[in-house]
Amino acid sequence: MENTTVEAREKSANSGFADGNNLKLDGSKMWNNIQYRILKSISLGSPDCCTGSVYEGKSKLAVLLGDEFLSKIPGKCIIDFGCGEGAAAVDMAQRGAKRVIGIDIREDLLQTARQKALTAGVEGSCLFASATKELADIIVSIDGFEHFADPAGSLRTMSKLLQGTGEVMVSFGPTWYHPLGGHLFSVFPWAHLIFSEEALIRWRSTFKTDGARRFSEVAGGLNQMTIKKFEKLIEGSAFNLATLELVPIRKLRPFHSRLTREFTTAIVRCHLVKRKSNGADESQALSAVE
């Protein structure tokens, strides 16, 4: 009799727990539905942001990396890591690079890039592929680190592909806490931080049919990169930060500081060099070889 009573109590408790979970799920589903309806009423299609139109008629390389970088290009072997449609790679080939290799995981973008190189007449010195074993004097990464599925892995690959005295030039943004850090999902400033991922993905599915279910699965991917995350990535990599520049959003420049940088930085720009091996590392390496 006592055992029967205990079992009944356990069943009652489990039933109550299940009911509680179901209520939470129902509440979450209802809240996501409300958010989806709000998003749909605000924007019926893809917002016109982060399209790159600001660089039309300009050299994106010159705008983001400056004249000092442009002066380093002639005669160098350069890898454009995350080259996209190849505009920057073609630009570097036209500026006298000995060889430019554009790397990207998307074959559709690589095909577009190859056509651009052909049209520009630099197809002999400007190649595009999903991977390479050729070592570079300079590696360039523009608007990639907020998209890479495995940014730590990307840094390891860069280290393997870079000459010992080489350098990596990085520029990317917006980062996750930027007003438009959600890229396509930023239907208004910081919308990607206000609405749930589920609601935003559902809204996106009304005009994009690729079946993405998470931010990381959309075309190009979004890894929710922040400035703090990026700094930690570099700390755990084979690179040192030779320089780090956080370019403020123009209208928010008066409010840009160490405390507000995640929300007021437009572009993260940095120069990476390989860490110098210490004596212990060198001894271990020599022992391994012997």
Looking at residue 10, its pLDDT comes to: 53
Report which of 143, 169, 176, 189 is spatially closest to residue 245, judged by C-alpha positions.
169
- pLDDT, mean over the chain: 88
d(CA 240, CA 80): 20
- For residue 142, the Cα-to-chain-centroid distance in whole angstroms is 9
pLDDT band at 49 (very low <50, low <70, confident <90, very high): low
List the beta strands (DSSP E) in 57-192: 77-81, 99-103, 126-129, 136-142, 162-172
Determine the average pLDDT of the residues in 94-104: 98
H or E stretch including 194?
helix 191-194
Determine the average pLDDT of the residues in 239-249: 97
Q: Which of 45-49, 169-173, 175-179, 190-194 has the lowest mean pLDDT?
A: 45-49
Looking at residue 194, its pLDDT comes to: 96
Looking at residue 9, its pLDDT comes to: 52
Looking at residue 17, its pLDDT comes to: 46
Residue 283 has pLDDT above 50, yes or no: no
Looking at residue 4, its pLDDT comes to: 55
d(CA 195, CA 144): 24
Helix, strand or coil, per DSSP, at residue 12: helix
Whole-structure pTM value: 0.84
pLDDT band at 266 (very low <50, low <70, confident <90, very high): very high
**Which phi and psi (to 5°) does residue 103 adopt?**
-115, 130
Looking at residue 252, its pLDDT comes to: 96
Determine the average pLDDT of the residues in 62-84: 96
Looking at residue 284, its pLDDT comes to: 40
CB 256 within 8 A of CB 240: no
Looking at residue 27, its pLDDT comes to: 75
Residue 285 has pLDDT above 50, yes or no: no
Based on the number of CB atoms within 10 Å of its own CB, is 116 exposed (0-12), middle (13-18) or buried (19 or more)? buried
Handedness of CA 161, 167, 168, 169 (dihedral sign): negative
Residue 122 has pLDDT above 80, yes or no: yes
Looking at residue 15, its pLDDT comes to: 53
Residue 259 has pLDDT above 60, yes or no: yes
